[in-house]
């Protein structure tokens, strides 16, 4: 993409192009997963989450309450799809609820 054209270019297009060609793209997107997880999960769920982390392409979520753990376990595929869609890439292969 040429940024010196006569037409204005949207900043979002410039950032997307930069991110798509960045040598550490996967690492950046993994960091994005961690930063958007609380927003995607929502305040009510985040009250129950004690910790969350990435190991490779798997997101681990620690929940102490057994009923909430089961609920998140059932929703893990939906969360995975929403998080991958949010970062516009297939970063997560699975979510494990502990």
- Alpha helix stretches (DSSP H) within 11-65: 11-20, 25-41, 43-46
Structural tokens at position 71: 């609920």
Sheet holding 49-55, edge to edge: 49-55, 58-63, 94-97
Residue 4: per-residue pLDDT: 60
CB atoms within 10 A of CB 97: 20
* Contact yes or no for 97/49 (Cβ under 8 A): no
Mean pLDDT of the chain: 90
In tens, the pLDDT along 3-19 reads 566 788 888 888 778 77
CATH code: domain 24-97 is 3.30.300
Q: Global pTM?
A: 0.79
Give the pLDDT band (50/70/90) at residue 81: very high
Average of per-residue pLDDT across 57-67 = 96
Does residue 7 or residue 87 have the better pLDDT?
87
DSSP 63-95: E-SHHHHHHHHHHHHHHHHHHHHHHTS---SEE
In tens, the pLDDT along 12-54 reads 888 778 777 777 878 888 999 999 999 999 999 999 999 999 9
């Amino acid at each position: 993409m040429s940024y010196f054209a006569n037409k204005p270019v949207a900043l979002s297009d410039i950032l997307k192009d930069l991110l798509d060609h960045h040598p550490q793209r996967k690492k950046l997107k993994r960091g994005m997963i961690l930063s958007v997880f609380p927003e995607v999960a929502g305040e009510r769920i985040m009250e129950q989450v004690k910790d969350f982390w990435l190991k490779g392409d798997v997101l681990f979520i620690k929940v102490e309450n057994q009923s909430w753990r089961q609920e998140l376990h059932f929703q893990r595929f939906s969360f995975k799809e929403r998080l991958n869609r949010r970062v516009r890439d297939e970063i997560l292969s699975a979510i494990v609820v502990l």
